[in-house]
A and B are shown apart, each in its own frame.
Chain A
């Protein structure tokens, strides 16, 4: 370890001498849980591990959710959509560190190893740290989906699936599917230091890991042998700064170049600061209020629609999001392909709503609205939102009681069958595929125990469309199916769709080339800093 430090300090000292050396400092929000991307789920962890250090077979094109070749140069899909044959990129170099120098380039063995260790409980690396689990691999249904991963030759790998799965290429571009080095794992095994797979990562990505001081600083250096376009900056530093106000002060003082998640109240000040630039983008998320569609009178779509019409959505966007959101009419955000813009939102019309409720025979209705106790990317203040809904619904004679639980409890209780009341919650996309919103949140399959369909809404026609779309390879056909599904969603109104919140990234004026990711990732191989 010490030699590593000496080497790295020498490297830093040398870069300090050469005037061109560029060090980019990112004031990150949270400490990474570890550097092996597979066992973790937090975005902040992936920003520190999967994105700078590793690559995947497929990658999301920077700034989009489009899938492009990564470590796989090309692929072929069988007629029935169950066999994917990947041609792997040749000449991809692994990083090296103090204890490990690779003797070979990336190849098929690494791919097999990276998947097998997650999916196969018998793999000796499955539990290389006691208690480790692969939550993304499991929750993306990979164990049920992947039948086998075979090596055809050193640079060809074949995945056989149990059923066709259109979002598969997007799924394997996700951080959990990062490719790790089999040779490094073998070396660690021999040395008896297996945890170092998680502590001293070796990848193929644009930056090499240098050191991590817990809860303080992560250091990376440019991978000069990178197979893709190499990074422009020479050194990348994450200065871990949990508090949003302090991050902003650091940015203003020039102690870092870019920060994530500014406090909503600071946005205006950032916008007017002549030394800062504020980039913004519609987030790949949705905030919603899910009715319990299995309980009367909320099992009646007319009642749900009436309630939706009684709530002033724009007032919520103005007051709670301070304008930093788009009012939502569909369950998926407008930045996502297949968004159906032809769908018309239920107009805010308390009079009509009242009439509809009366017609449906609903009088003196009282209901509960659940408000999350925490701030989420899709909802800055659930309590305030619930209060606005309460006022609006009182106008049409519906009495609302607002309830809340501690976050863990909230997540669990809101999924209990027979839940009393409508639940506020939201979702942030994992891979840019509409299936990742619609199937996870609204299908019949996810309406049961352990699912995430908190409206318990099971519409056969809607679910059939999703199932068809999932096994259809043609994007145009899939788009048509999802567009149709959104029409059914709007007619049936299992949710009151609240908003798609805007993401903001403040940065120094000196920074150029940063590409905001719709998935909320922070990656730095394209950034440059002016001296």
Chain B
């Protein structure tokens, strides 16, 4: 493994997490079907738990406990030794498992490209389209308040 790929890896995994956590379980599973997933075991069985969300008023006030959110997590180890972790909001254990599996796969040399092409790219495109559509819908409801400015002149 070269130095550059070592430096890239955290960034690559973070980028993958950003996509996977916004995708639906069925989508990830559907795209993963195209890849011959190697033998793996569940280092940590998928489980649900709570995390405390902390907030700051105005973004820079004193931190306070906002409330708890449900989180699912899993850890998967491939037969070749790579360990992938999956954390996601909500109680969808299968999603946490799939995210962990993807995380493990993108650390391998042989599957990284396949996951990038087969799973991450289509999901990224789909999420970007959705976001654009929503932004366009929201933009259409924009109201300009310039008429409310009292015209003195």
Q: Do A and B bind each other?
A: no
